[in-house]
Structure 1
């Protein structure tokens, strides 16, 4: 059985207590280290079910002596959000106390790490990886704040668990979607095997997408060090951090979860964290797209949303993706307003609710050509 710990969160109010449950497999300090967590957006539940299946596979692997690295599993990464139920609806994406997205504004230590490694890098890539990890830990310890709220404490705990990992898999899902991934530009194509194993139909890459989501808090310091010092010293991408979008919010299904867990185990085997045969690598379903090449299609009017294509459909630029219907409009054109694709590519995600307001992001199309208007913050709220 794994080494299981409960890490208490600072109490938000008298009489309330929450904690992170963390399972550790293998020996602490062993390499590779893999961190896997689910439901940082607490209303995205498929990952919790996937981890339930994965834990059984890891228990069996540990019983057989096959754990070769260190594997940290956080089945529920956001017990705060999981408790935010209002009138029967789970509201787990934003901290209701502060209005902040639980997957934004994580520890941003890149500048401190870049400065700390000055004079500590050399010609040995492995030694440089160790130097960056030491600087990251020191910066994390030095940044320990004065008393913070529960959501900030949660973010610090998660970062502390994952900061020295070789591989991080943050399990999320979209509204309605196909399997897709987000990862650092510097991690592609090194993580192409993971995309293939998981059956990803879109992979979106960025250096900084804006507002420091969890995966970028872990990957960006390495990219920042390489940008500053990489012309003089070899600086590998010491942490490959991926956000794994397990299709849509309603895809909570044992057969899907069992298959996803088996694929995650194959990833762990192929990456050397678990001994065994991962089997043949599936064929790639996509290449990577820069996040700047994603068309975030917005509702052109208020009304009821009707789609013309299923998720996973490939569309041409200008294709009608659906209509916003308002029978109260003054004329026929206003009663059914089309919305179109701004790029050719795959419809990898779309809004689940069908009543929309003008400007709502309702559909996402991953293309291959960077769109001029896609600057600044590249993710949805």
Structure 2
């Protein structure tokens, strides 16, 4: 294992932040898999799993099992880790400007396309190398300003050359689920099976350019721009939602870390054999994910459990008016798995109350929550 510590500038004079990267195997080997936790710094499960995965990789490397290259960032957002307001951790949004730490990553497509003009060949493997070099040159030319942009730039720099990227997150309360692009699904289906995902949400463009999409999106876009030249998907990236914020547990975290280790073995980054379990779900479009919203304010309770199969018209939640006692039902308009909901139980009008993974597109535009 090799350790690298990168220093980010702080917002004020005399301040700085550190990001630790752990590297396993030959840095020039393939496949290269990048795993990070805690980009939303108030989401502990991903940091726990990334840390435990690193411990497992130390053992695997000592046993001579590393065939590829694996990089692990146990805590990807030291800026957010330092944001504590009135004893409560606030790590999803930058308190300086309100921006989501997992949005607004640079789109390298246009600049890379200009660099590739007239250089692509009929050889997919050679084109993969050319695209990686063009994306790398495009990122290197950018000069980030301020700590949040320096963070985005550094995380992109770490993951840009990877074949597979796992960005570990969680929801308020949730079943295991993941987000990815349709073109990456074949490569990530074994991960969904091994981690026992109850929902897989696919979208080519989800909106806001989150970290995972900023890495895989240019490959899809460049393949469309140069249809006469074969460009494989050089980076399959995904956001893995490790259940809910309260699900920080070494026992469960180790189960998830071992599932990811098995996935690395399946990819060939580690030696060994893995038997894939049957999948618990089929992928559905992110546009088909119904976001339930509160029609009124009040106390929130749920009529069904997470993971339940919901039918259109079924009552999912109820809102109790504290003045009148009136109960307002919140019903599903689609059928599918009820896979996520908020952690708190006080609702304001318009609050997002949960998500149902349906197979019929319902939405367009920006498909991710703020």
Q: Structure 1-normalised TM-score?
A: 0.95
User: Cα distance, 1:208 vs. partner?
Assistant: 1.1
Q: How many Å separate the matches in 1 of 2:117 and 2:285?
A: 31
Q: How many Å separate the matches in 1 of 2:271 and 2:322?
A: 60
Conserved? CA contact 2:334–2:356, under 8 Å: yes
User: Cα distance, 1:155 vs. partner?
Assistant: 0.6
Which residue is 2:351 aligned to? 360
Moved over 4 A (4+): none
Count of residue pairs brought into register by the alignment: 370
User: Cα distance, 1:142 vs. partner?
Assistant: 1.6
Q: How many Å separate the matches in 1 of 2:116 and 2:53?
A: 37
Say yes or no: does 1:376 pair with 2:335. no
Q: How many Å separate the matches in 2 of 1:25 and 1:12?
A: 32
Q: How many Å separate the matches in 2 of 1:52 and 1:141?
A: 29
Q: How many Å separate the matches in 2 of 1:300 and 1:208?
A: 28
Say yes or no: does 1:220 pair with 2:224. no
Conserved? CA contact 1:114–1:221, under 8 Å: no
Q: How many Å separate the matches in 1 of 2:113 and 2:187?
A: 23
Say yes or no: does 1:59 pair with 2:39. no
Give SS of 1:168's match.
Answer: strand
The one of 196, 205, 208 aligned to 1:208: 205
Gaps (5+ residues) in structure 2? none
Say yes or no: does 1:294 pair with 2:289. yes
The worse-fitting range, judged by mean Cα deviation, of 283-292 and 13-22 is: 13-22
Conserved? CA contact 2:9–2:15, under 8 Å: no
User: Cα distance, 1:117 vs. partner?
Assistant: 1.6
User: Cα distance, 1:277 vs. partner?
Assistant: 2.1
The worse-fitting range, judged by mean Cα deviation, of 239-248 and 8-17 is: 8-17
Pairing 1:125-274 to 2, within 5 Å after superposition: 125-145=124-144, 148-230=145-227, 232-274=228-270
Q: Structure 2-normalised TM-score?
A: 0.98
Give SS of 1:94's match.
Answer: coil
Which residue is 1:318 aligned to? 313
User: Cα distance, 1:92 vs. partner?
Assistant: 0.4
Q: How many Å separate the matches in 2 of 1:359 and 1:226?
A: 39
User: Cα distance, 1:128 vs. partner?
Assistant: 1.0
Q: How many Å separate the matches in 1 of 2:288 and 2:113?
A: 29
Give SS of 1:106's match.
Answer: coil
Give SS of 2:257's match.
Answer: helix
Which residue is 1:124 aligned to? 123
Which residue is 1:108 aligned to? 107
User: Cα distance, 1:189 vs. partner?
Assistant: 2.6
User: Cα distance, 1:116 vs. partner?
Assistant: 2.0
Q: How many Å separate the matches in 2 of 1:293 and 1:263?
A: 28
Conserved? CA contact 1:114–1:224, under 8 Å: no
Which residue is 2:45 aligned to? 46
Give SS of 2:166's match.
Answer: strand
Q: Could you list the per-position Cα deviations for residues 279-320 of structure 1 after superposition, in whole angstroms to 9, with x for gaps in the alignment?
A: x10101111111100001111101111101111001001111
Calculate the aligned-residue CA RMSD, in Å: 1.1
User: Cα distance, 1:65 vs. partner?
Assistant: 1.5
Conserved? CA contact 1:344–1:365, under 8 Å: yes
